[in-house]
Chain A
Amino acid sequence: MKVRVGGLAVAALVVAVVVVGSAGARANACGTVTLNEQAWAGSTANTYVVKNVLEKSLGCKVNITKVAEVPVYQAMADGKTDAILEDWGHAPQWAQYVTKQKTVVRAGPNGVKGVIGWYIPTYLMKQHPEFKTWKGLKGEESLFKSPESGSQGMFLGGDPSYQQKDQTLIKALKLNLKFVSVGAEPAQVARWTQLYKQKKPVLFYWYDPQYLNATYQVSQIQLPARFKGCLDDEKVGGPPAKFACAYPSYTLLKFMSKKFATSASPAVGVVQRFSWSNADQNAVAKMIAGDHMNPDQAAQKWIAANKAKVNKWLGK
């Protein structure tokens, strides 16, 4: 007669769990909501602000997923994520998931206008006012030389996961620049901020809203005006000439999973009504990434100072 010790241990655990189990239940009118947060600080900002509004005002339990820009559509289709609050335009995914499968639905714009383009430090713009437009770069590309670019000037490319067309654009505009990718955004930021601190010339892919824009002065270079049939996604392919135009201005959109959208949760309305400005997003992003504040704290700080806007989202 051997006492099975393993069984004893399990029994003890089961007892503990049962004793404890009842303590977990909590009544929720709202239930659980899953929001997706992208890697950049702006996304953290809007996600955590909505999270705190939902938690504090509606008593929801909010989970955060961190899925990349494109796979998140699959996550929404599977019901793993309920909503994303910042999408920069993924036409192929819209066609596939929103139009064809109807597993994801639009939830309106989030109020932020996205701008992508070519940027240089403002101090450089002051020294070379001709750089206001891209034509001014011609002949002066060697100013941007780097160890990787040899005799050509260096164009610092963006994070590989971002939409970009600069390689083709450089070719189309016939500029003597070499496209150099230093990798993901932190690496790119490291590079151009260091050159900025040394007051050296640097030409790079950049965008707004971006929290660093509050700390560093950068100016955009004007690219050729947009025309009908302009292409922006290098990976889709096409003749170079069609890429020779500026990036479009992006109305950043929100998306929800069909499952969430058709549920009776009060959170759906809040997500749909959520909207704020570039300045709002940059401010919160700066608190999180620049001042290293805890995202929940940063969100609560902003919410406390902007009750009117929040009430609008709550439909009050």
Chain B
Amino acid sequence: MAAVDAARLPVAAPSPWWRSRNALVLAVVAGMLLAFFGWRNELLWPASLTWNALSHHLDDFQTWLSNNRNVAHPSVFFRAFNGLADFLDNLVGWLTSLFFKLTWIGTTALGVLVVLRFGGRKAALGTLAAFAAFAAMGLWEPSMRTFALTFAAVALSLAIGLPLGVLAGRSDRFQRAITPLLDAMQIIPAFAYLMPVVILFSVGRGAAVVTTMIYAIPPAIRITALGIRGVPTNTVEAATAFGATRWQTLLKVQLPLARRLLLLSVNQTILFALSMVVIAGLIGGQGLGDVVTSGIYSDPALALIAGGAIVVMAIALDRATEAMAIRTDPTHRHLTESKKRRLRIFTAACAVAIGLAAGLGNAFGAGSSWMRWSAQPWLRRQVQAALDYVQNPDTFVFHITNPVGNFIVKYGLVPLQSFFTEVPWPAMVFGLALIAFLLSGLRPALVTVAMLALVGLVNEWPQGMDTLSQVLVGTLLTMLVGIPLGVWAAESRRAERMMRPVLDVLQTLPQLVYIIPFIYLMPVSLVPGVIAAVLYAAPVVIRLVAAGVREVSPHAVEAAGAFGATRAQVLLKVKIPLARDAIMLGVNQGLIMVLSVVVIAGLVGSGALGYDVAQGLNRGLFGQGVLASLAILALGIALDRVTQGRSRKRLGEMA
């Protein structure tokens, strides 16, 4: 009997290599290179496609605003903003003077005892250590000012963000409506909206609070919405089934059960607000931000120390709020009546202790700030010594870093920069659109064209292309650093524990602060900015990639192991491919983070759009500042769509 001819199953022929997507992208790039060499510098963005007058219109608008603001009887519109600015300023002022009136003893007691009552001993010790650190750094007063400012900003952000988050959690339509607004609020660099804020709210603590709030409200809303949606459906249904009104459901069921995420949103709002401290210092926020921004110019050692104080505050607040959230969770706490009574007594005792401390402090003339011994001179000497070492061109380190930096710039960054800025603009627009299409589909490609057109329209084409080249380099380096480290963190618990504090510091330390050593070690214009971007963006990428790889289905991993795969094979063939979505999200977020460093980078030599925005702010060139910010936003939107579009497209293929 003839054997069944099963061998003739149709096998799909592999498509030729030159049809693969990567090859096509390379072909496009090759085409752009051709255009570059052939028509270098010949076709820059035409003036006819620029709205030149826009900048002047904006400047005129600013002048008009200013003129109408400062008249004896400003209109209702300005009175409202003035009133709001005054209110915010007074709020911060009141808090600050409260901390001073309590004296440093009273304030310390307040902080430590509140954390002790709600967060436990370990967290309280951490808080005490933080206070001690501020005192030792000789930065007590600025720290208290910053804390007052942050507290006010966070309280208001939560007052606005939590209700809106609840609304977004309950209403799909509302969530769809505000998501693009929240995206914009987080992509637009703060420098960009500093100018309008200063115009409307004048300089001072009020403006600082507003700027911080713009950045801190989105996480409050997003995480709260997530929490509300995470409440088990049956439980919410049960409330409705038993006839609860919407309010009853919200207050008795949804809010209590969303507690964990609500407190996470508080935690994140605090951290986001703190990351604005330095920028707030630029517009009169006072406190530590002030010390950093002015220190950069005349006292880098002190600026670095103040940066450290900001990190200490961020970490202390993070740990304290986390501890308080865990400890007061009623689900795990199981309070009996006697326990409740004891806690009430404890709370009363703490309150009395705080009052006593404040009273005693005043009685003994403790003073509003810790003014006595501090370790600041010693700290300064250490930091200065480090800076001197770094500044000295005769050191061994310099002899390595300097040539490396020069090499990177001369053969890498500058040629790339020339390519981007001098390629004929049709080739650039068409080429980038084509690449976007190949990578992500039609809509992202169209968005790319629109955004590039916007960059040219606002007369920032060469700067925009310059920034784009740097952002791409920054992102590439971030990926090269972040993905391997993320994978490593996923595979090794020890590595993750080692990395965690470093990543925490990098995310909270003001960027201006860790740029300083690089200015000296690699004294070429473009490198410090790129390095700052990598240092800022890599932690996010590492965390996302680690989470993605860790969450890969253990069944798939197990199956691979059962087939005898080595660890490396499992990693390369199973884990990383399955974590592709997380990695793409890492690319997307890494890009956004790199972009957010653009303006700071402009302050240290990256020039281009960042420089234009910084200059716009400092020299009152409203039009230039706004338009350069728009260009940054446009690039952000285009890059965001292109890197997001890929994973969406694959889901579409699977559906």
Of the residues A12, A66, A69, A184, contact of B619 by C-beta under 8 Å: A69
B528 to chain A, nearest CB (A): 7
A55–chain B nearest beta-carbon distance, Å: 16
Chain A residues in 8 Å Cβ range of B294: 37, 39, 44, 66
Q: In whole angstroms, how far apart are the Cα atoms of A191 and B524 in the complex?
A: 8
Whether A20 pairs with B204 at a CB distance below 8 angstroms is no
Contact with A along B238-270 (1 / 0, CB 8 A): 000000000000000000000000000000000
| B298 near A288: Cβ-Cβ < 8 Å | yes
Structural contact, B615 and A160, CB atoms closer than 8 A: yes
B409 surroundings in chain A (CB, below 8 A): 147-148
A252→B617 CA distance, assembly (Å):
22
- Asked whether A187 lies within 8 Å of B344 as measured between CB atoms, the reply is no
Task: Tell me whether A93 and B620 are in contact (CB under 8 A).
Answer: yes
Does A139 belong to the interface (CB within 8 Å)? no
Instruction: Verify A5–B619 contact, CB threshold 8 A.
Output: no
In Å, the complex CA distance between A150 and B524 comes to 13
Bound-state Cα–Cα, A3 to B575, Å: 56
Closest CB in chain B relative to A49 CB, distance in Å: 15
Binary contact track A135-153/B, C-beta < 8 Å → 1, others 0 = 0000000000011101000
Chain A residue with minimal CB distance to B86? A78
Which of B300, B350, B394 touches A9 (beta carbons < 8 Å)? Answer: B350
Q: Is A241 an interface residue (CB 8 A)?
A: no
Cα distance A2–B343 in the bound complex, in angstroms = 12
Residues 594-614 of B at the A interface (beta carbon under 8 Å): 602-607, 611, 614
Pick the interface stretch among A95-103, A116-124, A243-251. Answer: A95-103
How many angstroms from the CA of A235 to the CA of B391 in the assembled complex?
33
In the assembled complex, B618 has its CB within 8 A of some CB on chain A: yes
- The answer to whether A186 touches B299 (Cβ under 8 A) is no
Contact between A74 and B202 (Cβ–Cβ < 8 Å)?
yes
**Once bound together, how far apart are the Cα atoms of A24 and B100, in whole Å?**
10
Residue in chain B with minimal CB distance to A93: B620
Contact residue among B70, B354, B524 (Cβ-Cβ distance under 8 Å from A16): B354
Asked if A19 and B362 make an inter-chain contact with CB atoms under 8 angstroms apart, the answer reads yes
Residues of chain B with a CB closer than 8 A to A183's CB: 525, 528, 602-607, 611
Q: Collect the chain A residues with CB atoms within 8 Å of residue B299's CB.
A: 288-289, 292
Indicate whether B348 reaches chain A with its CB closer than 8 angstroms.
yes
B406 near A147: Cβ-Cβ < 8 Å: yes
- Is the Cβ of A187 less than 8 Å from the Cβ of B281? no
Question: Contact between A181 and B607 (Cβ–Cβ < 8 Å)?
Answer: yes
Task: Find B414's partner among A21, A92, A150, A193 (CB 8 Å cutoff).
Answer: A150
User: With A and B bound together, what is the CA distance between A96 and B414 in angstroms?
Assistant: 41
- A186 and B296 form a contact (CB under 8 A): yes
Contact B523 A191 (CB under 8 A): yes
Q: B318 CB to closest chain A CB, in angstroms?
A: 24
The reply to whether A80 and B203 contact each other, CB–CB distance below 8 Å, is: yes
Q: In the complex the two chains form, is B300's CB within 8 Å of A186's CB?
A: yes
Q: Does B520 contact A (CB under 8 A)?
A: yes
Question: Are the C-beta atoms of A68 and B393 separated by less than 8 Å?
Answer: no
Q: Which residues of chain A are within 8 angstroms of B203 by Cβ–Cβ distance?
A: 65, 67, 71-72, 74-75, 78, 80-81
Interface stretch (choices B282-290, B322-330, B423-431, B488-496): B282-290
A214 at the A/B interface (Cβ < 8 Å)?
no
CB pair A70 B520 closer than 8 Å: no
Among B70, B101, B199, B528, contact of A103 (Cβ-Cβ < 8 Å): B70
Number of A residues, CB within 8 Å of B: 70
CA distance A163 to B619 in the complex (A): 8
Closest approach, in angstroms, between the C-beta of B605 and any C-beta of chain A? 4
Number of interface residues, chain B, beta carbon within 8 A = 76
B63 within 8 A of A: yes
CB distance from A184 to the nearest CB of B (A): 5
- A66–B293 touching, CB < 8 Å: yes
Query: A21 contacts B101, CB within 8 Å?
Result: yes
Query: Across the interface, do B348 and A3 meet the contact criterion of CB distance under 8 Å?
Result: yes
Instruction: Report how far A218 CA is from B510 CA in the complex, Å.
Output: 33
Q: List residues of chain A with CB within 8 A of the CB of B300.
A: 186
**CB-based nearest A residue for B394:** A197
Q: Which residues of B contact A80 (CB under 8 A)?
A: 202-204, 284
What sequence of 0s and 1s flags, for each residue 320-351 of chain B, a beta carbon within 8 Å of any chain A beta carbon? 00000000000000000000000010011011
Q: Does B569 contact A (CB under 8 A)?
A: no
Q: Is B66 part of the binding interface, using a Cβ–Cβ cutoff of 8 Å? A: yes
Closest B residue to A160 using CB positions:
B615
Is B525 in contact with A235, judged by CB distance below 8 angstroms? Answer: no
Interface flags for B382-393 (1: CB within 8 Å of A; 0: not) read 001000000111
**A180 at interface by CB-CB < 8 Å:** yes
- Which residue on B lies nearest to A7, using beta carbons? B351
Q: Which residue of B lies closest to A21 (CB)?
A: B101
A8 near B: Cβ within 8 Å? yes
A227 within 8 A of B: no
Cβ of B352 within 8 Å of any chain A Cβ, yes or no, is yes
The listed residue with most A CB atoms (<10 A of its CB), out of B70, B348, B621, is B70
**Assuming A5-B351, A66-B284, A198-B393, what are 16 further A-B pairs, CB within 8 angstroms?**
A5-B347, A9-B351, A17-B101, A17-B358, A40-B297, A73-B620, A148-B526, A150-B414, A180-B525, A183-B605, A184-B296, A184-B604, A186-B296, A193-B391, A194-B520, A292-B384
B-contacting residues of A (Cβ < 8 Å)? 2-3, 5, 8-9, 11-13, 15-17, 19-21, 23-24, 37, 39-41, 44, 65-75, 77-78, 80-81, 90, 92-93, 96-97, 100-101, 103, 146-148, 150, 160-161, 163, 180-187, 190-191, 193-195, 197-198, 235, 288-289, 292
Question: Please, could you name 29 A-B residue pairs with CB atoms under 8 Å apart, sorted by A?
Answer: A5-B351, A8-B348, A8-B351, A9-B354, A11-B351, A12-B355, A13-B358, A15-B355, A16-B358, A17-B101, A20-B103, A39-B297, A71-B283, A71-B617, A73-B620, A78-B202, A100-B67, A101-B67, A148-B524, A180-B525, A182-B523, A182-B524, A184-B296, A184-B614, A187-B519, A191-B523, A197-B393, A235-B619, A288-B298
Chain B contacts to A: CB under 8 angstroms: 63, 66-67, 69-71, 98, 101-103, 106, 110, 198-199, 202-204, 281-284, 290, 293-294, 296-301, 344, 347-348, 350-352, 354-355, 358-359, 362, 380, 384, 391-394, 405-407, 409-410, 414, 516, 519-520, 523-526, 528, 602-607, 611, 614-615, 617-621, 624
* Shortest 8 CB-CB contacts between residues of A and residues of B: A161-B618, A70-B620, A12-B355, A9-B351, A16-B358, A182-B605, A183-B604, A147-B410
